Structure 1
């Protein structure tokens, strides 16, 4: 692959997915796109670039973008965002949405489904308090391949060992051969849709809670600012956005600001220089999430 071809692929991926590749990532491009060449019967990356320039094969174009997408995820990843949902955001919603009895959650860049299914488990655990409520989890990703895997809810033994408490594995999953499948009732709670964060997502409507974690780190500052601004438009006035531990809105947008007490939690900026109203904690602190068993 020549420097010109690498530069073309960098620009192509930036335009199609927002991925900002630095020059030292050339090895990554080669390692991920060579299998795409073999899959479509192309001899070299030179041939792949030539095919992309012709813009005649949407399947190849989609495969190139999806091959470069990072799909690292696991159940209850980083734990704190899920503690916040169960201990703070859900009790808050039960009060603030009591008249509408409706709760909408969006998992952007949901990958193979572990994040939305983690939330579905927490909601199922709180089913008694949500009786009569309409609860929606919308999960989106750029990759149609990972969306199809997420819809199946079928995971390897390694995948269910990563972050999933053994009590919930036994309660909500069934073994299918050497894999584990999450219960159909939980799969039905999640509406998966292919969405590119670079494109418009107005059709999704507004949400009370948005999870957009560990995806902004792959974009440059202008792209981050654009996405954050459009996420703010999809957020209810008193809603909450949760970002990854290495992500922030500071220096990128003035439409959102950090919560004063909870790291990684953001809400609408009410006015210049003011923080969002503090979120009320539940009256009684619930027990911690189940721990992994010793055998895990």
Structure 2
């Protein structure tokens, strides 16, 4: 792959997914796109890039973007944000929404589903408090391939051993051969959609809680600022945005300010709005 081809791919991926590749990631491009070349019968990566420039084949374009996105995830990843959701964010949301009895949660980078299903398990454990409530749990990802897999809720032995308490494995999963499938009742709690964070959020509605963890690290500063602004618009007053350990809003937006009670929590800067909490853990 020539330097010119690599620069074209960098610009291509930035425009379509927000992914900001540094120059030292050239090896990553070559390794991840090799299977795409084989799948679509391109002899070389340069042939694939030539097709992107000329044919604008939607299937090839989606395959290239999806091959370059990172889908590392596991159940209850970095346990703290889920503890905060259970112990702080959820009780506050229930108190705040007691009159309308509706709760809306968005997992903005759902990957193969472990994060939204982790939340669904927490909601199921809190079922007595949610009796009579309408709970919407929306899970999105840029990759249609991982979304389709997430809908199945089918995981390997290795995947269910990563972060999932054994008692919840036995409670919420059924073993099917060498795999485990999450219960139909929990699968029905999650609405999965393919969605690109570079697009407008208006069609998704407003949310009490947004999880967007370990995604912004792949974007450049202007893209991060734009997305954080959209998240602020999508959160109801007092809502919570949860980010990953290496992510922050500081220096990227003036729409959010730190919450002094918890490390990595942020709130709406507007004095008219109740504190919005964003969790960066």
Secondary structure in structure 1 of the residue aligned to 2:149: helix
| Counterpart Cα distance in 1 of 2:262 and 2:15 | 34
The corresponding residue for 2:147 is: 147
| Counterpart Cα distance in 2 of 1:99 and 1:140 | 28
1:124-163 paired onto structure 2 within 5 Å: 124-163=124-163
- TM-score, normalising length from structure 2? 0.96
CA contact (8 A) 1:156 1:180 kept: yes
| Counterpart Cα distance in 2 of 1:265 and 1:188 | 30
The corresponding residue for 1:255 is: 255
Secondary structure in structure 1 of the residue aligned to 2:275: coil
Q: Any idea what the Cα deviations from partners look like across 1:140-191, whole Å, max 9, x if unmatched?
A: 0000000001000000001000000001000000001100000000000000
1:115-194 paired onto structure 2 within 5 Å: 115-194=115-194
Secondary structure in structure 2 of the residue aligned to 1:110: coil
Secondary structure in structure 1 of the residue aligned to 2:257: strand
> Mind listing any 5+ residue stretches in structure 1 that lack a counterpart?
280-296
Secondary structure in structure 1 of the residue aligned to 2:174: strand
1:276 Cα deviation after fit: 3.1
Q: Judging changes above 3 Å, is the alpha-carbon distance between structure 1 residues 77 and 121 closer, same or farther for their aligned structure 2 residues?
A: same
1:201 Cα deviation after fit: 1.7
Secondary structure in structure 2 of the residue aligned to 1:253: coil
The corresponding residue for 1:276 is: 275
Secondary structure in structure 2 of the residue aligned to 1:230: helix
> Mind listing any 5+ residue stretches in structure 2 that lack a counterpart?
none
Q: Any idea what the Cα deviations from partners look like across 1:200-251, whole Å, max 9, x if unmatched?
A: 1210000000001100000000000000001111000111111101100000
Say what the alpha-carbon RMSD is for the aligned residues: 1.7
The corresponding residue for 1:211 is: 211
- TM-score, normalising length from structure 1? 0.91
Q: Judging changes above 3 Å, is the alpha-carbon distance between structure 1 residues 120 and 184 closer, same or farther for their aligned structure 2 residues?
A: same
1:271 Cα deviation after fit: 4.0
Moved over 4 A (4+): none
The corresponding residue for 2:229 is: 229
The corresponding residue for 1:242 is: 242
Equivalenced residue count is 278
The corresponding residue for 1:30 is: 30
The corresponding residue for 2:73 is: 73
Q: Any idea what the Cα deviations from partners look like across 1:5-34, whole Å, max 9, x if unmatched?
A: 011011100111011001110000000001
